[in-house]
Amino acid sequence: MKLSLKQLAVYLCLVAFGGGAGLFGSRYLVPPNKSFRELRNVTAALPPDSVVPNSVNGSIGSTGGDNVNFIATAVQKVGPAVVRINATRKVANPISDALKNPLLRRFFGEDEQPIPQERIERGTGSGFILSEDGKLVTNAHVVADADTVQVTLKDGRTFEGKVTGIDAVTDVAVVKIAADDLPVVKLGNSQNLIPGQWAIAIGNPLGLDNTVTIGIISATDRTSAQVGVPDKRVSFIQTDAAINPGNSGGPLLNAQGEVIGVNTAIRADAQGLGFAIPIETAARVADDLFTKGHVEHPFLGIEMADLSPVKKQQINQQNQLKIQLDVGVVVNRVLENSPAKRGGLLPGDVIQKINRKPVRTAAQVQKFVESSTVGDILEIEVNRNGKTQTFKVQSGAYPQK
């Protein structure tokens, strides 16, 4: 008995879509055998017109009294400026190409209608409003390659969004909608965060609008490699506030209701770990995208690692080097035709200072470079074979793929 092309397409679609649902609009997924209920975060979905009760002891930032009240107060301030972003894009249908094979068509029959060559992929993310005239920020992976972007406000209004710019290096994108007198967020400061401080996330996880999760700042200055996205150039904020698929692009708040980060990633191999782009990085990138349409990132062209006695021994054996220090930032590799190569840096150099300021971790070096401008000359002090040397390296622009 011959199977119809339609039956075959249905079977293949169930296999393909069952394993890949939700990829567009959320970069990292939790394995199906893990339950979100196992997370120890408090989660609450607030209705659009929720009212925060008055309480003398529930003021923002209060250490006593009803702590739920300070969370609700912060959310009431910011919630109206958090949006849902629905993006659609057309992608090639692999089933259509496979069924063009003459042998398959002979086996399954020639009288079936052709399978569409493209299918529509849909995803949902979050974002927040920066200006009253409709400037929004979200994650690049939420709107990348999107054919249509629909922005829905908390009050139910819906607008067509125009993607003004995307920066894949930091996973930041900006969207513009045609509206005025919109509610906006207040930007805070992420530079002095301390592990243990409150962290509040707002977004649309798993399609559940206006969801609030509460946790703490777990750590700061997590490198892209530690987070599992080595192609990015961000020192991430780590939080245990639940960041689920659909939260991408939403704000991470402090206890005062100020935005300190842009929620961007969850790790599939861990529970209760989420990461956010510091608001200083996101705001700087967003400003460049709105004004210039692109972002230039300073670039040295080195691979680094935090040095330890064990790491020193491994690097010395693998690369036949003679590193003597046990702590510092070691240069593992120098890219060809890079600013670092032209400036004189070599594998095995241990970076000790940049512009005469001590550095002890690769994250600190990355911050120094990111805070500079393309073309700036950085004075880099290194320890090479037990001797201190200083090199002047002019940063270049991060190469575009």
Catalytic residues, which ones? 141, 171, 248
- Taking the CA of residue 198 as centre, how many other CA atoms within 13 Å lie in the half-sphere pointing to its CB? 20
**Which H or E run contains 8?**
helix 5-20
Q: Which residue has the tokens 């939080």?
A: 239
How far apart, in whole angstroms, are the C-alpha atoms of residue 49 and residue 316? 62
- 239 alpha-carbon distance from chain centroid: 13
Nearest-angstrom CA–CA distance, 308 and 367 = 21
State the DSSP string of 312-343.
HHHHHHHHT-----SSSEEEEEE-TTSHHHHH
DSSP 229-270: -TT----EEEE-S---TT-TT-EEE-TTS-EEEEEEEE-TT-
Beta bridge partners of 275: 238, 265
Q: What angle do CA 179, 181, 187 make, to 5 degrees?
A: 105
Hey, what amino acid is at 106?
A: R
DSSP 401: -
Alpha carbon of residue 151 to chain centroid = 19
Task: Give φ, ψ of 238 to 5 degrees.
Answer: -100, 135
Scored b (16 or more CB within 10 A) or e, 164-181 reads: bbbbbbbbbbbbbbeeee
Nearby residues of 292 by Cβ (< 8 Å), 6 or more positions away:
none
Name, in order, each residue with C-beta under 8 angstroms of 111's C-beta and a sequence gap of 6 or more. none
The CA-CA-CA angle for residues 231, 235, 237, to 5°, reads 120
State the Cα–Cα distance between residues 351 and 324, nearest whole angstrom.
Answer: 13
> Which has the closest alpha carbon to 287: 150, 170, 204, 146?
170
